[in-house]
Amino acid sequence: MNNHSGRGRVTGLPAWDRCAVMGVVNVTPDSFSDGGRWFDTTNAVKHGLDLVTEGADLV
């Protein structure tokens, strides 16, 4: 799915009338921000779902 118009705007996202909250799951092996807690696929997916439960609009 190509969701970038190439003009600096992301397309294909809903138009919100408020600020959106983005949750980030950093799965790089050299990540210092999470100490590698989300490197395992199962843990990463669970964390992403937890972020949505906690209010993230985008992950």
pTM of the model: 0.64
Are the C-beta atoms of residues 59 and 51 closer than 8 Å to each other? yes
If one counts the domains in the chain, the total is 1
In a domain, 41, yes or no: yes
Is 7 inside any structural domain? no
Residue 23 domain flag = yes
Quick check: is 3 in a domain?
A: no
Contact between residue 44 and residue 37 where contact means Cβ atoms under 8 Å apart: no
Q: Which H/E stretch holds residue 46?
A: helix 41-53
Six token digits for residue 10: 């992301």
Q: Inform me whether the pLDDT recorded for 57 exceeds 80.
A: yes
Structure tokens at 52: 């949505």
Q: Would you state the pLDDT for residue 50?
A: 95
What's the pLDDT tens digit per position in 35-52? 777 778 898 899 999 999
Domain of 40 in residue numbering reads as 18-52
Amino acid at 10: V
20 pLDDT above the threshold of 70: yes
